[in-house]
Structure formats: C-alpha cells, structure tokens
Structure 1
C-alpha cells in the first residue's frame, strides 16, 4: 500500500510540474511599514485557487490559464484588498500588496487580538458550506494552548470551553469521552463527531461511539456547535464536534516537522509531518507513534496513526482531493476497582489479562466546484472499515481472576459508506444580502457483532477462540437519508434571522443469534424499524457593537435507539425490549464578543428538553440482588448558565509591555440536569416498592464544571497554570448514594485538579515543551463502568510529567 501511495504522489508531482506551470502570478504582501506579512491569504476571486504568503511575505500562484482575474488578499486583522488583472498565455505577472490592519466584526472568525489573550475563537456567520450565525459555538485553536497534546489531554484541550464534562479513564489518549449540558460523555456519543467534516464513528445514527480520536498534534482546530447544529449535521442533542486537521501548507513547496515527547511511566511519542503546495497540487502526510506503560498497573499502550491527504485544482473552478487515515492500537485495560480498593491503592489493577484494540481505516474523497463568487458546491464521500476488539475477564471486580480461566472475547466489525452534497449561495432579497445553505446526505452502516466468545487463558492480546463459536452473533444495518435547508435573512447591518428544517429517514435492522440456551442457539426474530421525521429550528442575532452581539436559537433534536442500547454490556445489565426513540429540543440565549483587544467573553443560558431519555436505573430482583436496567426514563431537563471570559490586564492598562503579557481566564458552568415524572418499581425483601425519578439528577452530570487559568507569555516563551473544579455526580438515574459491591453504582465525588504546561520557541524553527499534569497528585475518578473496560470505578491518572522537543522547516 505504501509503494502505491508513493507512486501516485510521484505521478501527480511529475504531471503538475510538466504541465501548466508557465502562467503565474507572484508578489509580496507587506504592511504600511513595508514589513512582510506572514500567512496572508492570497486568492483568485470566484475560483478554488489560493495560497498563503510565506515567512518573507512572498506568494506564488502557478498553473493558470490566460484570462481575467481578481486577486484578493485577506486575513484576520487585515483589510481586504483586491486587484483586477489580465494574464496572457505564459505570462509571469508580479502583483505586490500593501495592506492595512482592520478591526473585524463578529461576521469574521474571532481570534485573540493581543499577545496575552489566547482564548477560544468563534466560527464566522458563514464558514465554508455551513451557517453558524445565531448558534452557540466555539473554535479551539490547538496552537493557542499550552497542553499535553501528545497524550490528547482532554482536561486541558477543553479548558476554555464552558460546560464540557470529561471522562478521564483512558490514559492512552485514544478514546475521547466528552459531553455538555448534562449529556453522557460515553465515548462522546451525544456529539456528531467528525474529522474534516465527515463521520469517523461507526454509525452516527446507530452506534456513534468515538473509538477513534485523531492525534491532537496534527489537529489545527476543534469546532464545536452545540445542539443547534442538528439541522445541518444531524439530529443529535449534543451537536457537532469536528476535528479539523492541518491543511497542506500553501505557503511553501515543502514543510517538514517533527515533535518528540517523553514522560512519566515510559511515555514515548514521535510525531512527524510533511506538507506543501506545488502549483495546483497540495499534499500532507503524518505519522505518530505513541507508547507507554500507563499510570496504573496493567495499562500499557502502543498506538500508530498515519494520514495522507492530496488535493488538486483541475481548473480554476474545480478542486478534488483524497484522504486516508489509519490507526492501529494495542491497549492493556487495567479494569475497575471497588471503592475500598480505590481508597487502598488507586494505581492497583486486578485485571492483568484485559486487552483492547481498534484498527481503524477511514478513506474519503472530496470535490469543490465554484459556480461564481456567490455560489459553490461541495461533495464528500467517506467510509469506515474498522474493528472494536476486547479480550479479558469481564466479571464483577469482586470476583478474582485466577489467571488460568478462559477469557471472554468480544469483536465488532464496522463497514460504512456515506456521502454528503452541500450547496451554499448568497443572494439578494429586498435589497439585502442573504445566504442559503442546503444539502443531501446518504449513509449506510453495517456492524457484525460477535460477543461472549471463549478465548484463551493467555496473558497477551489474543482474540482467537479456544473453543466453540460466539454465543452472541448479531448483524445490524442502519440506513440514513436526510436533506436540510437553512437560510440567513439579513434585515440590516445589525439584525439577522436564521430559519431551517431537516428531514430524516432512518431504517434499522437487527438479526442473528442472541445467545445459547443449553447449547442451543437462541435466534432473534429480525427486527426492522423505519422512521421518517422532520425537525425545525431558527435563531436571531443582534449586533450591539461591531465586536459584540446577542444570539438566540431553538432547534429540535432526535436520538434513535442505538445499537449499544439494544445489547447489554458484558455484565448483568438488563435491556428493556420496548425501548423508544428520544426527541426534544435545545434552546440558547447569550451575549458574546470582545472589548478592544484585551477581553473575550461569551455568556449564555441554555435549556435542553430531552423526552424519552434512555438511561440506566438500579432495580432489585426477587433474590434481593441489585442490577442495572436500561430503559426510557421519561423526560429530563437540563438548564443552566455557561460563561467564558479571558482578560489581558497588561494590554488593557499599558497597551505594550517589555516584560511580557498575562491573560486570566475563567470557564464556568452551572448545570441543573434532572428527571421529571417517571414511576419506578423494584422488589425489596419480596415486597414491591414504588418510587419516582422526579427531581433526581441525570447520571454523569455534575452541577458545576469550572476551570480557571493564568497564562504568561513573552516573545517565544509561554506558561499556563490551570485549575479544574468539578462537582459530584451520580452513576445511575436512581442517584444511589452508597456504592454497590461491584462499584458500578454510587456517587462520583467532586474533585479539583491542577495542571501546568510551558513552551518555548527559539531560532525560528525549534521548540521545547514541558508540563506536569495533576500537579498535586489528586486521587479521583470520573466514571463507574458497568461493562468493559470495568466493571467498577475507573481511576483517573495521578501526577505525570512530559518533556517535548520539536523542529519545523
């Protein structure tokens, strides 16, 4: 496969070099002081062609045909400048630009305006092929953070994003578990999780668990649009989380980068990247190797990530591209602990033979066609060919592993295909510029699930069966067809409104063998569910000043019964066979913007109405044994306030400083997530006991999620201290206070954690990074697992450190 990719790349380079390179535009981009401007966007209006100015302010656009062009120079903090020109065949035209700085309004992407403020940005009102106006959204720029990116440290990465709860039980950094507004962080399944705009989960409408997370060292930014994104991306309550990888460097022919990290517990990570642009061809590729022993016993990991991306401008109107991403993992799972074991030694592990692996391959193709400066079309087709494999002792943690018994093997095989067609068009109505976004989607996912196999008695990662077949062997097929339309109506320069709708059709089929009874197969009667529905949404936005605005949005949401809802984890959980789909809506009202170049802020009130919510409740059977029952728990409501503010006092009071800059940030959230009326029954000592969930808090939903930090930077040096203060939560909807013997239910206590990270860039091409995570070595946990990799409570990592060195040419 590697030789084939190399051959394709070589042929493309030869082709591009040989043809169409003689007609070109070159020049320099400078400011009024005639200093070079680095990274300015130089584009040909109404085409797909564009580059960036390099470190000397120079640019070159090759492979052009004779004709009329309008060259546009733009960039955040720069006033747009246009020059019309005519190119003759084989002409080399020189166009130099002198651009002025400009204060940008909220119609543009937000960035920190001073040397101290390094906060989150917001998406533009219209970005690419999507409408973001009126919606609560954040853009996390990874370059703005001092964080342990080699280990995908979620606590640091989402530090400035208010209301994000994080499950911290995967020290390998492979599986991301985040949520917002009282939703479940279980592998981020309430978010529509994408990479470069396409799906990377097995099935967003049937099994949206995010087993794959791209290495943060290659992520340029993370785009988060809360529940109001449901019209343009999917009906999920959580909204969109899109990892945007670094694009090919369009300022140079060739860029090479290497970042190497070492740290506690045998951590070693090497990240290597190349990219560039030659005429009409852009390319990028990276490889990351990450391995270590983990903070707990029996928690080794060894992961490999690779990615290749090529794009080619066939003409000035049409650009095509291909991407391919591959991941291989080998992770030892330390398993859960009881509360007593955790108090005794949180680093211990009673499961030495549990292993987990998720081979993941994601190919995609894309095309972009520009009809005119006001209308453009995008097409993406993508696939996932992947597995989820686990082997180990999955019985309750109160049962010892005698190290000779056969282990249980569970395997999932995912094969999916999806495509999306999107159109964006600006048009005039009643003398005002309006924007229309519309699109079509098709997705088909198939999961072959094999569970409860009798594996070997080995201690290594081995997914072979020692005897028999898999007692549970199920096939799931999910087909999703959707269409959406959303429009911005601009009434004047200050006031706009968005309206939209999405129609969905979801067909789910489950069939196969559910288990064995006395050695005989228990066949499942094929189940097919077909649903068609329409959801609506709308919002308002009013600009108080060019840099501040009020925004509000309401959008319906829908969550079909998931595949993971229909099959219990590998413990004693019981599934309600009459599970129903959930539906509801999200509402936001907020105020955001910045003051000068020293204060960023975003404060909002939210309300999430979640009907027929699926969750777990603790029941007691006739034998007086407690068990977890997964069912529809009626309606839950999450409401509260989120706030983010970052302030640079040095810039505010002194404008400039020779001793450096300081920024202080606070990301706070109060979340009241509770159930409404839902009656429950259980058997206690042979008697039926009735109860009600009304007023009970939603599981895994802390009421407070507060993070605070201070950053100091001077020239190439920067250091950040961060404090995370998270409230207590419950592991089940019954709000069980006392933990059961298996530690699968009970309180998840409040905790505070501190981190400190620093970076130093020097001699233009080099950097050093270092940090300490969990500075005070707090012992805490964020999750009680009912199935793999538990069961039991899952300790978070204690104090660790890392040191990293990098180079970029």
Structure 2
C-alpha cells in the first residue's frame, strides 16, 4: 500500500511539472446579448479534459499536448457548439464562444433556470456509464429545494419523489430509513445504496442496512432508479439510490464555503468546504460537525463527517482519482414508548443508558479511460472499514430499567472490499446508433458479530465488557461476482428498446459460537450457501414529442439471503438447507415530460412481484417436539399508481414577472401491497394450527403517500411550504389492530405534517436560511420497533426550528 501511494504521488508531481510546459486554451463564453454565461461546460471531445466557466464567464484548460482537438461548449437551455482546435507546442490560444438558446428534449437531464419549475429531474437516456432509458427514475437536485439540509430531513428531501415512505425516528440525521412501493424502510435496506457509484453499506449481499448517510449539504444530487436498476447494479427490489457528492469546482483554482446552523434543542452544525482545479489536478474536501440534545429526552447526538477527493488527468485519455470518507458518531437512544406513554408525553424516555455509535471509513480509488468519443472505460475500487456498536437495555419497554444493572453490549465489525469495471460504447447497427453498457463486479464482505455481552452499569457510552466474553460470536463472509450487459436499440428518433441480463454468483458462509451457558459454548455448524443465477430485463421508450415520452420496463430482481436469515433465534431453530434468495420482478408503465419550463410531470403504474419471501413456521419433529423452521414461505405483490406534477402558473401565463414566480407541486401515490400466499403457523390449545397471510396488507406499507407544496421565488429569495399526508399502516404482517403491551405490534396511524423553509442569497457570496419543521406540532409516529433502537413505539419529532448563515468565495 505504501509503495502504491508513493507511486501515485510521484505521478501527480511529475504531471504537475509537465503540464506547466504545455499548451493552453483560454477564453470566454457569452450569450447572444453578450451576457456572460456562468457554469458553461467546455470539454475536449474524446478526452477526460474539461472545465466550467467562472463567475466572469471565463475558462482555461492547461497542460495540453500539441495536436488536434474538438472543443464542445454546452450549458442548460443553450445550443451546444463544437469547434475544431489546432494547438502547437507551448501555444496559448484564446477561443471565445457565443451560445444561442435551445429547447431540450427528454434525452437530456431535465433542468430549469431561475424561473419556472425547479423540481425533480430525470436521468439522461445514457448518463456516465449507465443506461437509464425506459426506466422509472428521478434526480433530486438539492439546490432546487428548500429543506433542513443540516439535519438531513428526509421528509423534505424526498417530498417530490412519489411513493417514498420515510421512517422518522432518527433525530440525529445519521441513519436514513426510506423505501418505495410497499417495501420496508428499515435503514433503506431494500435499496442498493451507494455514494458516487460505489457501495457504502456493510454488505449489500448480506447486511444492506444504511448506517451511513452523507451530509446533504455536500450532496449535489440523489439519483433514484426504481427496480429496473437490478440489471446494472444488482439487488435490491427497491432499486438504486445513489448519493452524488459535489465534485471539485472546475471553474476556479480555489473556492471556500462555510454554512453554520443553529436551532431547537441545542442544535449546532458547521459545514466547511474547499475545492478547486489547478491544471490537471482537481480537489475537494469538507468537514461537518453536528451536535444537539434531540427533541426527546435522552436523545443527544454528536457526529463528525469528513471527506477528501483528488482527481488528476494523467493524460488527455486517462484520469485517476482517490476518495476517502470518515464518520464518527455518538448517539444516545431514547428507546421506545408504549401507546399509553406516547399519549401521555411523546417526548419522554424511559431509557437513559442506551447508546449507539457507528465509526465509518470508506476509501476508494477510480480511473477513467476514454478510448474514443464513442467508447470509454471506468474502474472503481472501494472498501468499507466500519463498526456498529450499541449498549443499553434492549428488553421490552414495559420492563423498568434497573440503573444499577449491567447493560447489554452488541458490536459488529465490517470489513469489505470491492471493485466494478464498466464499459460504455456507442456503435452502429443496421444504420442506427445504439449503446452498450457492460461490466464486471467483485465484492467480498466480512462481518464479525459479537452480541449479548455483559457491559458496565454506567450511564455513558461505554462498550467495554464488565466480565467474560461475548456469548454470541459469529463470522459471516460473503463473496459476490457478477457480470452484466444492457443495450439500447434505437429504431428511429422516437422509438427505442432496452435489453439486458445479469449473471450472479454468491457464496455465503457463517460460522462461530451461538451461545455460552455456564462457560460451555454452543457452536453453530458452519452454514454455506453457494448459488449462481441469471436475471433478465427489457424496456421500451416512445417519444410523443421532443419533451414527452411513454416508458415501460420489466426486470427481474432478487434479494439475497441475509445474515439475519441465517442466524437462528434459538439453538433449537432450524434453517432450511435449501433456503433461496427472494426472487421476483418489477414492472413499470409511465408517461413523463415537460411543457416549456412551467410544467413537469411523471405518472406511472407499477407492479412488484416478490417471490420466495423468507419466514418462520412451527413444525413437529419425529419425537413430537415443536421447533421453528425458517424457509421460503410465500409471495407478496405491490401495485399502484405514482404521480408527480409541478406547475408554475406565472411563467405559463405571463412569461415574465416583476413580483416573482410561483411553483406548485403534488407528489401522490396509491400503493396496494398485500400478501398473496404466505404460510404461517401458531400454537392454539397446545396444537399447531396452520394459517395463511393471503389478503393481509404488507407491514409498514401505507396505501396513501401524498405530499403537496408551494414555492415562491423572487431574485435571491425562496420560500417553500409543504404538506405530507400519509395513510395508516400495520406494524406486523398479521395486521394486528390493537397494540400489544410492548407496543411492537398494532396500527401505525395516518398523519399529516407541515414544513416551512426559506432561503435568501445576497451580495453574491452570502446566504441566510431558516425554517420550521412540523409547523403545527403534530404528535405522530412512523414505526413500531421490535428491537433496537426500541423496542416499542418510536415517536417522530414535534415542532423544531433552524436558522443558518453561509458564505462562499
């Protein structure tokens, strides 16, 4: 590793010395009225070299070899230009460009200017190294929304993305719990969660829970591709959720930014960022400190996030980069409540000694090579070195916490390494331009799980054991190898089709000590699962006009057997030797588009078929003894409609306005998620009674997820009011109506909650933000937890406020 680092540094130093002696292209980009264009892209076609214009509309590309180039200049809402450039050795050439206005089609990313709608966008048909044509997808641009970004407020961030359910029990903003289409929001584990295109969860194949979420203040956009992403990215049924961080500023040598926020319950957040580009080298770094006491009692948090990114153009064809992300958390867990306690005082806590911490480190390296304007190659290698630590009383919330008794300590240690190689190429077939995306993946994850340790009887965050070892000490290893391809066939300018496949090989092994009784260990027989399979998918896209299109896609999906599925709750339980990954498919049919820059819309019907769902039934052995048997039991189906529309009436009817612009949005979803066949057993009067969940609603799946909002903009001022209207859900698959004493089952009632956020940018470099979350101070909850961070009913935060000031130079 040391020699590798030294080699990289040597290449960087030599490159920096070399580009100082090479040629340069510089110039300015304006529109037809001679107004400077800020942020215009100036790229040398077929190379990795490119910059953006600065606040004066100027650009400079240094360190170029002598030769022939094609400069491509583009920006949103303007016609692109291509200009041939011939450079001599050590020549400095000035090229100025004047761009004309243009209407964009849906094959490009949907973005808007200062007026008109500024809501969700869509991914281009081909974006980076991925094919998105015919797929249901959204792009959430964080700059386009008013929200409490310092606290990663998911309710506001995903407000324009229809069908997204949100668990609101983590007041620290660290753990994200979202899902779509009737799937479980538990730490977003039904999504394939990534950052900058690589994995950030402990193990996507064995433990896909999202304990790490990047600070939204540094996120440029969130890319969501529904279940059809399974071909290019693998599991899960929910699709891809990719956090794309802000890239190094390629318009200036150096930029610095600071955003500082304070608010209710002792909230303090400071976010500090630097970045820039000098010749071939681009860099960025940020640090965020976030702390507060939380809305509930015993919910203090203190988190630190840091990130460093370097990118270097070794040549005009090759670019390499390194990234490193680090997070440290100290979070007090308030625990759950009973229904009676919630009604009495939802801010109270009966757990004062529960703590949670997730140190997280994610290093990665990447390389990109451009063979030609039509073919390019990308390599990403990444790793996760992380922990999940908890200490506290995790027994039923009805049991009083004995403050002198030792607490339970549970610790996970994650070590993963992975890589993905992707190739994208455009080619001609039967006279038509087609696109192929293909790639290879390797991943190895190891989890060292230590549970049920006897901790100290203190009240602080302390993960030391008071005596002995961990009764449960398990090792879980997962190796995944995959290959995929997906192709766009363009029949004419209006119609295209996509077709693809993915081959998976997954090998999972678990072994270790299950329990410790009177000093005698109970060892698990090593459990190994090896499986190989192929999934397929295809889609169609038809452009009704340059700005509207029909899309449809059907893709198979799978959810691997998780570590929890292979861990028996008791030594007498038996795991099916033939336990299979859950399999199924996603289907979408929709219509999306825009009218001018004043109306955006996307409506669709979806169908998610989820086969081989894993569950536990009671069986009787030859000795007439009952035992729990975990196996593939049944099937669920989620289907419904999703719709997003955003409209700016002032731009539509008056084109221009001196009093500002108004944008109204509605994000609505009807989700019918039910079990069609799922065998169950129970013991009644000493006998095993068989049953079936057929017709029962899937747990944690509200049928109604509606969000509405209005945004007013005038120059640098913007304010957004938002209403969330969420239907009731059940906490368990049996659809229990009345809550049990421990509050782990029962109804999760419907609720409505409002948010108000505003921002003001002034004097070019400064901003002021403020807002009120849960404007009417509603009392509600979105989750009943059966274990950590409960157990019990988990209240959402009541009314809170925040104010923030920022500066950027």
TM-score bin (small chain): over 0.9
CA contact (8 A) 2:502 2:534 kept: yes
What does 1:497-536 align with in structure 2 at a 5 Å threshold? 497-536=497-536
Residue 460 of structure 2 corresponds to 460
State the 1:9 CA deviation: 8.4
Q: Which residue matches 1:148? A: 148
1:411 aligns with 2:411: yes
Deviates more, 1:516-525 or 1:93-102: 516-525
For the residue of structure 2 that corresponds to 1:214, the secondary structure is coil
Task: Write the distance in 1 (CA, Å) between the matches of 2:334 and 2:8.
Answer: 43
- Specify the alignment match of 2:735 in structure 1: 735
TM-score (norm 1): 0.96
User: Aligned in 2, Cα 1:774/1:7: closer, same or farther, shift over 3 Å?
Assistant: farther
Matches within 5 A, 1:106-505: 106-112=106-112, 115-505=115-505
Using a 3 Å threshold, how does the CA distance of structure 1 residues 549 and 514 change in structure 2: closer, same or farther?
Answer: same
Equivalent-residue separation in structure 2 for 1:181 and 1:631 (angstroms): 24
3-state DSSP class of the match of 1:613?
strand
- 1:78-104 CA-to-partner distances (Å, cap 9, x unmatched) read 211011011011100000000111101
Deviation at 1:661, TM superposition (A): 0.4
Q: Deviations over 1:101-152 (max 9, x none)?
A: 1101111001135614111000000000000000000000000010000000
Structure 1, residues 601-656: CA drift from partner, whole Å, max 9, x if none? 0000000000012368999xxxxxxx999764410000000000000000011110
Counterpart mapping for 1:22-101 below 5 A? 22-101=22-101
Contact 1:21 1:279 in 2 (8 A): no
**C-alpha distance in 1 between matches for 2:498 and 2:390:** 46
Q: How far did residue 686 of structure 1 move?
A: 3.3
SS of 2:351's equivalent in the other structure is coil
Looking at structure 2, the residues matched to 10 and 372 of structure 1 have their Cα atoms a distance apart, in angstroms, of: 27
SS state at 2:229 partner: helix
Q: Does 1:635 align with 2:638?
A: no
Alignment CA distance shift 1:558-1:145 (3 Å): same
For residues 576-725 of structure 1, the aligned pairs below 5 Å read 577-578=575-576, 579-614=579-614, 632-725=632-725
Question: 1:580: how far off?
Answer: 3.5
Structure 2 contact 40–53 (Cα < 8 Å) conserved: yes
Quote how far apart the aligned CAs of 1:403 are: 0.6
- Give the secondary structure class of the aligned counterpart of 1:612: strand
Change (3 A) 1:789 1:657: same
In 2, the alpha carbon distance for the partners of 1:25 and 1:364 equals: 32
Q: Which runs of 5+ in 1 are unaligned?
A: 620-626
Q: Say whether the 8 Å CA contact 2:599–2:648 is kept in structure 1.
A: yes
Q: Structure 1: how far apart are the matches of 2:37 and 2:7?
A: 36
Aligned to 2:623: none
What is the aligned residue count? 798
Structure 2 SS opposite 1:652: helix
Q: C-alpha separation between the residues in 1 aligned to 2:242 and 2:286? A: 19
Q: Tell me the secondary structure at the aligned position of residue 228 of structure 1.
A: helix
TM-score by length of 2: 0.96
Q: Aligned partners of 2:616 and 2:739: how far apart in 1?
A: 15
| Change beyond 3 A, Cα 1:114–1:277 | closer
* Cα distance in 1 between the residues matched to 2:426 and 2:8: 37
Counterpart CA distance in 2 for 1:255 and 1:17 is: 23
Question: CA contact under 8 A between 2:514 and 2:571: conserved in structure 1?
Answer: no
1:206–1:560 CA contact under 8 A, matched in 2: yes
Compute the displacement of 1:278 (Å).
Answer: 0.2
Q: 2:749 aligns to what?
A: 749
Answer yes or no: is the 8 Å Cα contact 1:574–1:629 preserved in 2: no
Uncovered stretches (5+) of structure 2, i.e. residues with no partner: 620-626
Give deviations 1:693-737, integer Å, cap 9, x for gaps: 110000100001000000001000000000000011111111111
Counterpart position of 1:624 = none
Give the aligned partner of residue 785 of structure 1. Answer: 785
| Equivalent position SS for 1:735 | coil
**Structure 1 residue 740: Cα displacement:** 1.1
Do the aligned residues in 2 keep the contact of 1:122 with 1:138 (CA within 8 Å)?
A: yes
Instruction: Report the Cα offset of residue 23 of structure 1.
Output: 1.0
| Structure 1 position 20, deviation (Å) | 3.3
Secondary structure in 2 matching 1:298: coil
CA-to-aligned-CA distance 1:128-186 (integer Å, 9 cap, x gap): 00000000000000000100000000000000000000000000000000000010000
Give me the whole-angstrom Cα distance separating, in 1, the residues matched to 2:269 and 2:228.
Answer: 37
Question: CA–CA distance in 1 between the matches of 2:351 and 2:7?
Answer: 46
Task: Give me the CA root mean square deviation.
Answer: 2.1
Deviation at 1:361, TM superposition (A): 0.3
Give the corresponding residue for 1:623: none
